[in-house]
Amino acid sequence: MGRRGFGYVATLTVLVTVAGAAGMYACEHGVPGSDMDSYGSALWWTAMLLTTMGSDYFPKSPEGRLLCLLLATYGFAIFGYVTATVASYFVARDADTDEGEVAGAKQLAALRREIEALRHAVEGLSSSGHAP
């Protein structure tokens, strides 16, 4: 997971969550009909939006709606990235075992050695005159 920059993406996501909650609170606090009455509720709303869980609250101000669109787009992209990273971790881990369903580097190397050994055996038979 380290080579895919997962740590950087996780750190960036925490920063986007904290900053997005602050921005949403600033945009929606005091707007008539808004339920965004504390930073905690803004943080909860932002976290739910970024995890694609959603929320019952919809921004009322134009600035809040724009910020909501940007946060939702980021959350959608990051959700796909995290899913792909976790899946590739498990596929790579499975490929490193001998019982894995996916042929990994170990299995391919073993097949290459076996093919090379068969090639040498065939060449030895054909050079000694025992070829069919």
What pLDDT, in 10s, does the model give residues 51-105? 878 777 888 889 999 999 999 999 998 888 888 888 887 777 766 666 655 556 6
| Angstrom distance (rounded) from CA 125 to CA 132 | 9
- What pLDDT sits at residue 103? 56
| Angstrom distance (rounded) from CA 118 to CA 62 | 71
| Domain layout of the chain by residue ranges | 2-95, 100-132
Is the dihedral angle over the CA atoms 113, 117, 122, 127 positive or is it negative?
Answer: positive
Look up the CATH architecture of domain 2-95.
Answer: Orthogonal Bundle (1.10)
- What pLDDT sits at residue 13? 92
6-60: per-residue pLDDT in tens?
A: 888 889 999 999 999 999 999 988 888 787 888 998 999 999 998 878 777 888 8
